[in-house]
Structure 1
Amino acid sequence: MLYISYSVYGCVSDYVLVWEIKSRRKRRYAAMLSVLLWDVTGELCLLSCPCLQEETSSAKKTIHYLKLSAPWDVLVYYAEELCLRAPLQAQPHPDFNTSARVLQKLWVPNVMADFVPNRPVDYYTCAFRKSKMEKFLGSEDHQNYFSITQRHRIVYEILARTVYGKRKHAEVGAARLLNEGAFKAAFPLHEGPFELPDYEISPDQLNKRQILYHYWARWSKWYKYQPLDHIREYFGEKIALYFAWLGFYTAWLLPAAIVGTFVFVSGIMTMGSNTPAKEICESGGHYLMCPLCETCKPWNMSDICPMAQVGYLFDHPGTVFFSVFMSFWAVTFLEYWKQLSPESLDLISQNIQIYQTFQKTWPHSHSYSFRLLFTEMHRTQTQYEDAFTFKVFIFQFVNFYSSPFYVAFFKGRFVGYPGHYGTLFGMRNEDCGPGGCLIELAEQLFIIMIGKQLINNVQEFVIPKVKAWRQKKALASVKKAQGGLEPQRWEQDYELVACEGLFDEYLEIVLQFGFITIFVAAFPLAPLFALLNNWAEVRLDAHKFVCEYRRPVAERAQNIGVWFIILEALSHVSVIVNAFLIAFTSDFLPRLLYRYKFNSDLHGYVNFTLAYAPPSYNYSSHGMYKAFRDENGSYTLVYWELLAVRLGFIIAFEHVVFSVLRVIDWMVPDVPESLELKVKRERYLAKQALADNQEALLVSGSWRAAQVSAHSGVHTLHSRLYEA
């Protein structure tokens, strides 16, 4: 094994490049790699101190580790180029979050609170300026002024912009070299091991990775608040926002799960009072039903007694109430998330990054979306990611939701009637089962919310471990050649799995959000199973990022991006779908019409929903089927009355729900007043620090400083995210 290390004396390595060469091809690649590395790392090496190089070798494989560290001048230049945030003034952390204050007022012990050591200091910040360096806190300490994640970001940008060949051939950046296999890996280093030492140690002496593991990633912390400040400091805003959103969404699932469970239990308790089910069970051979398929035989209505009783659990007045409740829940959840997220105000100045293809950060299963995107030529990375996300979600939406939509709205709608059945390509159209389409939809949702989510969690737990095992096995011969020496930090990190990003994590939860809102009228227990899944999901994702993934480059973000737009679209679609589901798939409106027009206790309702087969029907002229038709197969007056009721219900349902949602949108401000004051203070401090004429600024801004200083203790946006 050949090990090469380039680092700055007295500096911490900011980034590691890894490539492998088999010994028999060593001479062929030596010259090419020397030129390539000079091109890719030239800016760093030329401005760095002399390099440190060590070499060892073996017969089978050569692994090169190139440790990079940016000097002060490079850091300062790119900090201004990338508009990194510089600290102006420390601000206090809030003592409690919202739930803690509520529990304190109720005199309830807060078991969710947990003391996490070494909480990062929060600052008022502004865009970095080299000419105003003396205005920023800690600028005299060149060694520690820039955070570790900022140094990672700067080195990553240098590597991403470096031209190593011909620019017209897009031979730019280490990302392409990774895609082409020239480099095996490129990653920043973790800050030490995540395992706690065998000896007793003070919590304040734990490294950042150990703190995240001990106070966040362990399964025993499933009910504790997430340490979002520490996550943000170690992984950056983008990953911290994902976990903040996931935690916030999971917390909001709790009331939805409680109400859904109550609705389901109330259905069990009132099952005995279900008159139509009693009539079906006691009918015996009174209702002889027509065959459901060409090769089926006639059957008695009493045969589906168990299905009729179970079907009531998913089709009773409580499910209608729950669908309305979930429509309000979905939009209110998004409104409050929008208030808590930094979407409305630019607290994190984002420079627009020119688009660079980095295909390894996206799942290979979405290659069809890449082919579509290559023809669009998006200019910025944000535009590219949003377009990619939208296209993949459309594909996945059709893939996951097509079957439930078919069962809910199309299956059994075009069957026809005995003697005149509808056909497609010469085959009779599929009809719903004896228990109806709604119970089939509930069965599908049960399988998705339990079976599929359980399989996904098992995969998330097993697959990273299998990949890590394969990586360690591939490096076993190299470790053996070291003669039992303790592996270095970069060697340990190379044995980990490459970080796969957040795309699949967001996609999984957003699809789940669709299932618990769009089809919730058919399965009230969906929020409960989503809540249980997400409790496990938070720990699985935390464990992957802390223990099993190489450290990703910290990325800045203002919000969850295009996913919020998709969530808003799903919440509006759920209102429409639930209205149609209640109107056309459930028996709520037919029962309501029968109560109003014929019998309030629903006696005779089963016979009301059945029609006799036409006399010309081959099997039996006395056979019955579920429809509002006369003996000739024509629709009865009741059918048209019921159709009018259904359409009226849809219009009323949508107008009432959307009107209330607009009121909620108006009542809940997108930006809290405390946050507006905090932003004004930050902008004032930024102007004060960056202005050339300080005296004129202080005179013109004295009244504003007096106004905002009274509110200097209000919560910051980041502390509001901590409430999730």
Structure 2
Amino acid sequence: MNKDSIKEELTSKDNIVFSDYVIYFCCDKTLKESLEQFKKLVLRLLEAGLDIKCLNGSIGSLFLFIRCCSTRLHTAALSSRDWLYGVRNGLPDLHDDRKISSSQRLKFIYDIISFPVSEGGAGVCPDLDEWKMVKHIFPLHDPVFSRDYIYKIFKKGFISESDLDDIRDHFGEKIAIYFSFIRFYILWLIFPVVMGFFTHFFLPKYSILYAITINLWCILFVQKWRKTEVRLSIRWGVYGISKTYQKRRQFAGDKIGIHVITGKNVPVSLLWKKIFKNSFFILFQVVLVTSAILILIGFFFLDLYFSEIYDGFFQKYLVFIPTILLAGFISVFSALYNKISTCINYYENYETDIDFESAFIHKIFMMSFIICYTALFMISCFYVPFGYHIIPKINIVNIQSLFLNSESIKVKPFIVNPDKLRKQFIYYMITGQIINFFKQWILPFVFKFFFVILERIYSTKISKFNHKNINSFSEENEFLSKVRREAELPEFSLLNNYLELVMQFGYISLFSIVWPLGCICIFINNMIKIILDFIKLFFATKRPIPCCIDTIGLWHSKLMFLSWLGSIVMSILIYFHKYFSSDKFLVEVLMLLVFVDCLYRIAFDICKKITRFTWYEKLHILKEEYALRDAYLEKLMGSISANCQNSPQVQRNYTEVIEIGTTVIMNSFEKYKKA
């Protein structure tokens, strides 16, 4: 490929850069380190067989536009792990680029950028200390596709399977699986909506029929979704992709060991160090979780005191204090806990992406479970059955006398409010959803508007200094403004979206018997959510890097856990509100818990033994299959990759990009000095 042909691929007729990926490079405080890392970055990318164009970003930053030629793309397709591990039935089609979807192309190219040099990649990853000046690697949105797709969805009013195929072709299987799940969830919510409406108006409170029906619905929902995702993964050709166990780019082994299947020397972690880290951080998280539970219980009793016991001055205003304090505590503590959990997850140094993501899901699910359901559990399992016996025995007056004059204390007789659980659940279903919408959509745009104003003020201050602009085309300046906007956008968070849906499922399986119309609120919320998620995906977040998956992962086990727990909680709620007997309570509840726990332990032990036996039986076969495929792959890649990496164009392109980048970096440092 000559120099002119590369420029034709990188630049359209209107001088607008066309690229597969954009690398956002921000200079460090020192000129020497910035130039060294920039040159190293460009050399790595060119040696990996990628074409680059460098343009000026904002002050102190550069945009590297990455383009991959057809030959190098085919090499990456051949080395893809899904074919190597036998997920796909045959080799990728190397003769027609049109048969490679946009998401597949982007996935292969990202593998080239991020894979280690030893595997034919550039080894560039923003999370590594080696590349601390590489802030983001992202593909650009296609405005034509975004506009046409949103128009098509809104015009039809529903999402078909062909629409999901379009999402998969454009964004990859990971995004498509998420929208498939929320679409499936909304369709399946129709039944509990109808059942909840019927129960609310025609059946008695805490209906046994409703509890049985919803429990069966939860079990069927989880099992049916498992079959649906298998069918989708087969349709998209990624069934079994999870077994590839992609190694994390950030994984740092303690020593070099031999892989049990491949027989290759690979970095591995020491077992004792892994156990020590996990044990230490489990203990640390137990302390955090216990603290959160105790604080939430404290807020519960504070709310109980002001709303049902205290009868003094400003009672009608003081009743809002616990709610305000609780909202502030949850926001601050959740943000702090997520940051701590993220740091812990990185420090635990998981070997594969699946292990890393699963560990983080465990952490955030546990805390979200406590925050969402603690108040409801306290009301249903403490306040309703035992509040009348325990709360009057607490000497409120003596406790208050520590802070106030005992003569001015006014309290009213405590009476259990049987409607408290329903009101609390309605608050979560209506007010809580509105607050969540405000936090997810209104606040971010308010903050963004505020920071845009500050940025314009700063840009106006800087603009009085003359600066040579290497981007001479007005079309490029307009295009770069678009790239800057996309670089500043947040990433599309599947983790938080799944967490919200799973917590909703928990409300249905655990507490919907309290107020069956809550299913309608969840249905309406998800109808709005799927629309807003589409808007967020196309216009309010960076375009996600495609990722091949065939399942929602650990969220499936969380759904199973909530469906199992729901059968117990609904039974306890019915028992407390209809058949409660303080004499037999402890024995009956313990018998129920022991019986269910024994069933689950037996099932777990059987599955564990079967899995262990199957693994050792197939180990020899896996070794032979890998050796055969790996030998053929090395032979095939050896004849192709040399043509890309040893091309004389690499050196010419390297010199051109380095000259442009060096000019931009040096001018940026001059600007900083003048400013």
- TM interval, shorter chain, is 0.5 to 0.7
> What's 2:435 paired with?
455
Structure with the higher helix share, 1 or 2: 2
> What's 1:186 paired with?
137
Q: Secondary structure at the match of 2:76?
A: helix
Q: Deviations over 1:312-356 (max 9, x none)?
A: xxxx35633212211111111111111111289762534221124
Could you tell me how far apart the structure 2 residues matched to 1:338 and 1:80 are? 30
Could you tell me how far apart the structure 1 residues matched to 2:595 and 2:511 are? 16
Pick from 177, 180, 194 the counterpart of residue 244 of structure 1.
Answer: 180
Tell me the CA shift for residue 399 of structure 1: 1.6
Could you tell me how far apart the structure 2 residues matched to 1:522 and 1:319 are? 9
Q: Deviations over 1:513-557 (max 9, x none)?
A: 111110122111111110010000101111000111121101111
Change in Cα spacing, 1:490 to 1:498, as seen in structure 2 (3 Å) is: farther
> What's 1:381 paired with?
353
Instruction: Give the aligned residue type for 2:338.
Output: H
Q: Does 1:154 align with 2:108?
A: yes
Could you tell me how far apart the structure 2 residues matched to 1:432 and 1:508 are? 39
Tell me the CA shift for residue 386 of structure 1: 0.3
> What's 2:192 paired with?
256
Q: Does 1:405 align with 2:406?
A: no
- Identity fraction in percent: 21
Q: CA RMSD in A?
A: 4.6
Tell me the CA shift for residue 231 of structure 1: 0.9
Q: Secondary structure at the match of 2:535?
A: helix
Pick from 560, 564, 576 the counterpart of residue 556 of structure 2.
Answer: 564
Q: Does 1:19 align with 2:25?
A: yes
Looking at both structures, which has the greater relative contact order when contacts are Cα pairs under 8 Å and sequence separation is at least 6?
Answer: 2
Tell me the CA shift for residue 583 of structure 1: 0.5
Q: Give matches, 1:512-523, under 5 Å.
A: 512-523=504-515
User: Which of these two proteins has the greater Rg computed from alpha carbons?
Assistant: 1
Q: Secondary structure at the match of 2:95?
A: coil
Change in Cα spacing, 1:651 to 1:413, as seen in structure 2 (3 Å) is: closer
Q: Give matches, 1:156-175, under 5 Å.
A: 156-162=110-116, 173-175=124-126
Q: Secondary structure at the match of 2:441?
A: helix
Instruction: Give the aligned residue type for 1:503.
Output: L
> What's 2:41 paired with?
40
Change in Cα spacing, 1:471 to 1:8, as seen in structure 2 (3 Å) is: farther
Q: Give matches, 1:248-647, under 5 Å.
A: 248-266=184-202, 316-317=204-205, 319-342=207-230, 347=239, 349-350=241-242, 351-357=244-250, 366-374=338-346, 376-411=348-383, 413-414=385-386, 421=393, 434=415, 436-437=417-418, 439-466=419-446, 469=449, 473=453, 476=456, 477=459, 485-486=474-475, 487-489=477-479, 491-496=481-486, 497-584=489-576, 586=577, 588-589=578-579, 640=583, 643=585, 647=588
CA contact (8 A) 1:80 1:128 kept: no
Instruction: Give the aligned residue type for 1:459.
Output: K
Tell me the CA shift for residue 559 of structure 1: 0.5
Change in Cα spacing, 1:513 to 1:399, as seen in structure 2 (3 Å) is: same
> What's 1:140 paired with?
95
Q: Secondary structure at the match of 1:17?
A: strand
Q: Deviations over 1:3-25 (max 9, x none)?
A: xxx97542541110123459xx6
> What's 1:10 paired with?
9
Could you tell me how far apart the structure 2 residues matched to 1:526 and 1:419 are? 30
Tell me the CA shift for residue 472 of structure 1: 5.0
> What's 1:77 paired with?
75
Instruction: Give the aligned residue type for 1:173.
Output: V
Could you tell me how far apart the structure 2 residues matched to 1:648 and 1:498 are? 47
CA contact (8 A) 1:17 1:65 kept: yes
CA contact (8 A) 1:261 1:524 kept: yes
Could you tell me how far apart the structure 1 residues matched to 2:7 and 2:482 are? 21
Pick from 63, 66, 77 the counterpart of residue 64 of structure 2.
Answer: 66
Q: Does 1:209 align with 2:146?
A: yes
Count of residues in Structure 1 that have an aligned counterpart in Structure 2 = 481
Change in Cα spacing, 1:256 to 1:559, as seen in structure 2 (3 Å) is: same
Q: Deviations over 1:447-499 (max 9, x none)?
A: 11111112222333324534654675566539988899444545414303121
Could you tell me how far apart the structure 1 residues matched to 2:8 and 2:391 are? 90
Change in Cα spacing, 1:235 to 1:529, as seen in structure 2 (3 Å) is: same
Q: Deviations over 1:565-596 (max 9, x none)?
A: 00000000000011111112x1x226xxxxxx
Pick from 232, 239, 245 the counterpart of residue 168 of structure 2.
Answer: 232
Tell me the CA shift for residue 238 of structure 1: 0.6
CA contact (8 A) 2:27 2:133 kept: no
Give unmatched runs, 5+ long, in structure 2: 11-17, 252-333, 401-410, 464-468, 604-624, 632-675
Q: Deviations over 1:175-206 (max 9, x none)?
A: 22699862343211112x2xxxxxxxxxxxxx
Could you tell me how far apart the structure 1 residues matched to 2:112 and 2:536 are? 28
